[in-house]
Chains A and B, each alone.
Chain A
């Protein structure tokens, strides 16, 4: 029952996960809270783990949350659930709508969809940043978190550093600062 629920929930997420990656995190969090798969701070920990693992962040999160909620089988059904819609849709597009991108309907849809995805990623970042601190906002750890976050942003956008290097650097800074 739990595994069926996991599979269906991730199937739905996979079907609507336009933009992939971090835009999907709020969707996964919503489902996770609704079904009570795991407590909030546990969710944050898993997303951080998913982000530092190689590969797509959304798929990694599905694997980890599936595992926490329902063991190995849970991990398998959650991962299969989030990947399956992509596979089916891609096969259909590749077989029938090769020039889909030039279509005005598709272009119009994306005109509305792209800013919403942007908004969802911003929301994911705010949510992910805030829910870490239950005690007080005016705290040394809030400042350190912000500092590392800003440094990570600048390192990638301005200095074109590799995300893996940024994560390794953040781990070292974390040991120094926290």
Chain B
């Protein structure tokens, strides 16, 4: 046991260092992290093989929370159990936490410059574009029959008109899917829970 302790510690340190570097090098949210995680964990170190890694990634996308944070926690757990999960999560969160602060301090210092304000308005507009990209990619995967298109349209309508708490919509969504699938089965309609390719393979598209 005593001999194992230093190696376990060094694995944890290693884990921390890998995830610490991944955060700052990814722009555009969690899914940008996936190719880098794949390269570091699977190709370079062979800690987890690629098939298992892609299973982990689709679970990371399914669990609540950012996919980058989830993927780190999953991989951390597989390599170092609970301490591994904590270390990986901490490592992926810490650097961006610090960078966000630096950027916001920088912005605060120059925010009254007209040029900075103009640049920021441009960035604001680009973020709207990025949101549209996220919606488009998610929609490509999610909206494949009339039911799903109607649900998405209703969501936008309900949110725009009532402005209710969005978390309610999410909670409703979890139950709604189960009800819809049961209803379809009861009515004898064909049931498909995700978009598939012609040879019936589910398409996993990373959407954020």
Determine which of B29, B127, B156 lies in contact with A119 in the assembled complex, contact meaning CB atoms within 8 Å. Answer: B156
Residues facing B in A141-174 (CB within 8 A) are 141, 144-153, 155-157, 162-164, 166-167, 169-174
How far is B167's CA from A109's CA once the two chains are assembled, in angstroms?
A: 15
> Given A120-B159, A174-B118, list of 13 further CB < 8 A pairs?
A20-B65, A25-B131, A53-B99, A56-B30, A86-B64, A86-B70, A104-B181, A112-B177, A113-B177, A115-B173, A153-B129, A172-B119, A172-B122
Total interface residues on B, CB under 8 Å, equals: 99
Q: Which residue of A lies closest to B164 (CB)?
A: A30
Q: Which residue of A lies closest to B122 (CB)?
A: A174
Residues facing B in A103-118 (CB within 8 A) are 104-118
The reply to whether B208 and A108 contact each other, CB–CB distance below 8 Å, is no
With A109-B177, A123-B159, A156-B129 as contacts: A118 and B152 at CB distance below 8 Å: yes
With A100-B59, A123-B160 as contacts: A57 and B167 at CB distance below 8 Å: no
CB-defined contacts of B55 to chain A, threshold 8 Å: 101
Smallest CB separation, A65 vs chain B (Å): 11
CB-defined contacts of A152 to chain B, threshold 8 Å: 125-126, 128-130, 132-133
CB-defined contacts of A170 to chain B, threshold 8 Å: 122-123, 125-126, 129
Binding site for A on B (CB under 8 A): 23-30, 32, 55, 58-60, 62-70, 73-74, 77-78, 82, 85-86, 89, 92-93, 95-97, 99-101, 103-104, 107, 115, 117-136, 138-139, 141-143, 148-149, 151-156, 159-160, 163, 165-167, 169-182, 193-194, 207-208
Chain A interface mostly = helix
The reply to whether B151 and A119 contact each other, CB–CB distance below 8 Å, is yes
The reply to whether B130 and A113 contact each other, CB–CB distance below 8 Å, is no
Q: Does A2 contact B (CB under 8 A)?
A: no
With A112-B151, A162-B27 as contacts: A117 and B123 at CB distance below 8 Å: no
The reply to whether B99 and A55 contact each other, CB–CB distance below 8 Å, is yes
Range, interface on chain A: 35 or more
What does the 1/0 interface line of A13-24 toward B look like (CB < 8 Å)?
111111111110
Determine which of B78, B95, B100 lies in contact with A49 in the assembled complex, contact meaning CB atoms within 8 Å. Answer: B100
How far is B179's CA from A145's CA once the two chains are assembled, in angstroms?
A: 41
Determine which of B60, B85, B123, B165 lies in contact with A52 in the assembled complex, contact meaning CB atoms within 8 Å. Answer: B123
How far is B51's CA from A151's CA once the two chains are assembled, in angstroms?
A: 36
The reply to whether B68 and A94 contact each other, CB–CB distance below 8 Å, is no
With A27-B166, A141-B121 as contacts: A109 and B178 at CB distance below 8 Å: yes
